[in-house]
Amino acid sequence: MSQVEVKVPDIGDYKDVPVIEVLVKAGDVVAVDQTLITLESDKASMDVPSSKAGMVKEVRVKVGDTVSAGSLIVVVEEGAAAPAPAPAAAPAPAAPAAGKVVEVKVPDIGDYKDVPVIEVLVKAGDVIKADQTIATLESDKASMDVPAPKAGTVKEVKVKVGDSVSEGRLLILLEAGANAAAPAAVPAAAAPAPAPAAPATAPAAKPAAAASASVTPAGRAHASPSVRKFARELGVDVSKVPGTGQKGRITQSDVQNFVKGVMTGAAPAAAASGGGELNLLPWPKIDFSKFGPIETKPLSRIQKLSAANLARNWVMIPAVTYHEDADITDLEALRQQLNAENQKSGVKVTMLAFLIKASVVALKKFSAFNSSLDGDNLVLKQYYNIGFAADTPNGLVVPVIKNADKKGVIEIANETSELAGLARDGKLKGDQMQGATFTISSLGGIGGTGFAPIVNAPEVAILGVSKSATKPVWDGKAFQPRLIMPLSLTADHRVIDGALATRFNAYIAQLVGDFRRAAL
């Protein structure tokens, strides 16, 4: 039997991607395409499958490590099968420790500190098994499950949802081995079947109940943290999603297919919308080649990532679009004057920079627009981060100007130019596209007279800008040629009613009409 090295395959332009989950250990028997580890970058998450079948001899990575294409993951002995009795011996050491209360702390999670707890999956009195997830953590860049190091009974839970934890923080007090006589431990004891036994039972379980096959004995769906985060962002209860991966594991594709089913009426919508079903006709399946020549092109990575978010926002946000015309004749003259004065320094002030500054002033006056819905609460933000849609060869992305209220128009113009360049080159970092409180989508450089932009959740409004045009405007005595810029504001009607939206839009028009007001 030969030993082979399994490495990270080609993952595109991603480098130094954190490992957030290691799903195998030495002695496990793995099949081809079985997931070995889960990676999550600032922009995407991915499962890394095994390219070989056999027994894992050595695992070369751990949670918190960063890997790139070609990084060694595991060493596999091809064709090897694990001895039947060997896995059963693993839980044995827990028995002598029965009755001893141990502290379960946050393990080594790399450089991450003060990571929010988003799920606590156990409570006092629960009987748990070794490696059962007790809490889920999620930072801006990654999410991770924290497993129990041994079996036992939970005596006390020391954290709650919303707490921030770092390595070494106490999570629970566990009476090790205390599940030996507990009736509730029967299903849990049967669950930690060794890896070799799973292939024999998984095929039988899936046909009987696809959804339940993807749920752990603790009642929690079997999915990686990145998949859970993806499901939460779509408003999907992951426990309702049938898993098709190894041992019924839920994959990102499973979540996407579930959402597609909801959108087409093929799956219950209760998990996403809170009740009822979408009784829509199935999506038509058509062989377009019957009507003429066709070319099939895959969606870009950006389009794939955006599709589900846009569909969720469009379906779940009761949005209304309001239109306003802004007279920017004087502002355009000022913009051209500033660019002429700063021509040698290379500074180029855009209308977008003025709009960002005007938006900040309007957000301070109308605070509801700088908020997010959180259940029955409205979170009013005291910071002003403005996103702007940037056109790239692979699709639209939204870079964010952080703390725009503390920056001048010229500084904002320089930053938007720099971020737009990074976006076109595909070099934007994840944190450069996060944290926006309000977004501007400007099509002024292309054309159009108006459109209805989609609100970018969890924001509650977005401002669309179309191409400016010179129009005759009556000044009380005669028609004067004025440069008019169309504004299209889409707002979440649950937070912002029509009167408030119209006032906000009119105020933006007033600010860009006489930018001196922005200094008041």
On whether the CB atoms of residues 191 and 217 are closer than 8 A, the answer is yes
Q: Are 229 and 120 in contact (CB under 8 A)?
A: no
Q: Rounded CA gap, 171 and 21, in Å? A: 19
Q: What are phi and psi of 42, to 5 degrees?
A: -65, -25
| Dist CA 126 CA 184 (whole Å) | 8
Task: Look up residue 262 and give its two tokens.
Answer: 């909801």
Instruction: Fill in the amino acid letter for 319.
Output: A
Residues 315-351 as b or e (16 or more Cβ within 10 Å = b): ebbebebbbbbbbbbebbeebeebeeeeeeeeeebbb
H or E segment and range at residue 116: strand 115-120
Strands 438-442 and 461-465 turn out to be: parallel
Tell me how far CA of residue 202 lies from CA of 27, 191, 209, 246, in angstroms. Answer: 20, 12, 11, 8
Question: Catalytic residue among 7, 348, 493, 503, which?
Answer: 493
Provide the phi-psi class of 429: left if phi over 0, else alpha when psi is between -120 and 50, else beta.
beta
Q: Is 222 a catalytic residue?
A: no
Given a contact cutoff of 8 angstroms between Cβ atoms, the answer to whether 40 and 225 are in contact is: yes
Residue whose token pair is 């943290």: 225
Is residue 389 within 8 Å of residue 396, measured between CB atoms? Answer: yes
Measured in Å, how far apart are the chain's first and last C-alpha atoms? 78
8 A C-beta contact, residue 104 and residue 154: no
Structure tokens, 31:
């099949």
8 Å CB contact between 488 and 322: yes
**Calculated CA dihedral for residues 131, 137, 138, 139, nearest 10 degrees:** -120
Beta carbons of 440 and 460 less than 8 angstroms apart: no
Helices (H), 24-162: none
Instruction: Map residue 87 onto helix, strand or coil.
Output: helix
Residue 155 carries which side chain, given as an amino acid letter?
Answer: K
The answer to whether 512 and 354 have CB atoms below 8 angstroms apart is yes
Q: Which residues contact 131 (CB under 8 A, 6 or more apart)?
A: 147, 148, 192
* Helical pair 351-365 and 409-424, crossing angle rounded to 10 deg: 110
How far is the C-alpha of 224 from the C-alpha of 23, rounded, in Å? 9
- Rounded Cα distance between 520 and 515, Å, is 10
Tell me how crowded residue 463 is: count the other CB atoms within 10 A of its CB: 27
Please identify every residue annotated as catalytic.
Answer: 493
